[in-house]
Chains A and B, each alone.
Chain A
Amino acid sequence: MNTHAAFAAALLDPRLNCPEGVFSANGADPASRFAVYRNNVQSSLINALAHSYPVVAQLVGNEFFRAMAAIYLLGNAPQSPLIKDYGHDLADFIEGFEPAVSVPYLADVARLERLRTLAYHAADAQPLNPEQIGAALADPHTLSELSVELHPSLNLLTSAFAVVSIWAAHQQDATLAGIDLDHGQHALILRNGLDVEVFVIEPGASAFIQNLQNGQPLLQAAASAPAFDLSQTLALLISHNALTHLHQNKVSP
């Protein structure tokens, strides 16, 4: 009775034969008709990956990307009708994908592209205006217990490669000339209004923002991070609408 199981398996794996029990009205080989469905499934999923990871595809070339995606697809059929999430773990697959070892930064570029997609579709949140933030920061009595909430789209990526420079180069002329590929970068990804933005930040700033995400009060988050320019980092977050709430932790009177 379970005919969809055989149909589905043969759609996903081109090595399997056309399922039993199907025919063409004109007597044509049903496999030549089944091929339309298989091609729809395979190409739509590979196209979805190419759409989500345009710079990864540029870095390895379209032909390599599609071949890699076809192999990914064999072991990673979509588990949800929300196809935007398909390939959310492509970076992990790339890391173990032997033919791509000559492009060691490929997985981190995929991570950056995934975080950009997440930021694009993340929940909306009203940013605080600079006056509200300025007033809270100016009050020495409450500053030590001040916590901030960051925009839901905000994420960090730490890479041993120049991942932001590599990605940014592919928004223009796609040349890696002049980029020190092995120069590690800390990326900040967020959505400001309708636009996703990517910044390179200092290692200490990345640790600071991570601490904030973990719920540490502002001053503690700064103090427990490696040295960095706090005022510059706060200015970046404020001017790009990344702060959405301020809380006073009422630990002591």
Chain B
Amino acid sequence: MKSLHTSLRVLLLAAPLLVAGAAMAKDAKDIVIAVIPKVAVPFFDDCNTGAKQEAEKLGVQYQWVVPQNTQGSTQVKIIEDLIAKKVDGIAISVNEPKSVEGVIKQAVAAGIKVLTFDSDSAKSGRSMYIGTINEAAGGTMGESMGKALGGKGEVAIVTGQLGASNLNERIAGIKKALEKYPDIKIVATEGTEDDLAKAVSVDEALFRAHPDLKGIFGVSQVGGPSVAKVLATKEFADKKGAVKVFAFDDLPDTVKGVKEGFIQGIMVQRPVTMGKLAVEHLVAQINGTETNPKDIDTGVTVVDASNLGSYTK
């Protein structure tokens, strides 16, 4: 009897506090946001830059939590820790869409706002996705090639890991865009495991097997640099500029390839924008000012010789 009485009293005392907590926005300096990249690579350094600046601007506490490897389980552990620490918001670029579904649901149930950026886990119950819609980016790439070739010729696709869903979505986008150009024929699609040495071998074999090749799509980040290296050799020197090359991501060697005329265009994603938007939307959701979030396509910038020095991410 007595214990029931006490718990009732606790409930009565707590109720007004709960109501107040829901209605009143938290002080900005008490809000803790954690951002989790896939792994430590330059792309995510740019995300960190954008996210950190936005967090400073809004005056919220900011954590950048980098997984030691790309296994799905590592990110699961990180999120579990963040739930235990009672952070207010989590933005994550997912390594393994399936493996984090359960733990993201747990976080959401614990009252934490979660969104994904760059790489999504669509069925996890996250509030929104901010990043490149890869199929749309592939479409932009296909369209650029269509124009560069004047709508005619043999092309090949050089990808990274065959199983990577973002790369496969880009390829789907390329194919859809090329439907408009019936005289452009995709003669080969090759994987490289994102290894520069393997990619160079594959490119050489492609040029030999398809002497009439007019265009190459470098769908993953090794594509551009590998083709540039092959075109720089004496054997394939006559193909420089004659074979149109479009690549993804502005790694130093890819940018150099554009400067030297081996690569005609790079699809550059906008990681700084992704980081900035991720923090902005998390804080809005925590404060209750954003109640019905929608996915955001940050898009790609097509970087070529004309805007090489001036593009922003």
Q: Do A and B bind each other?
A: no
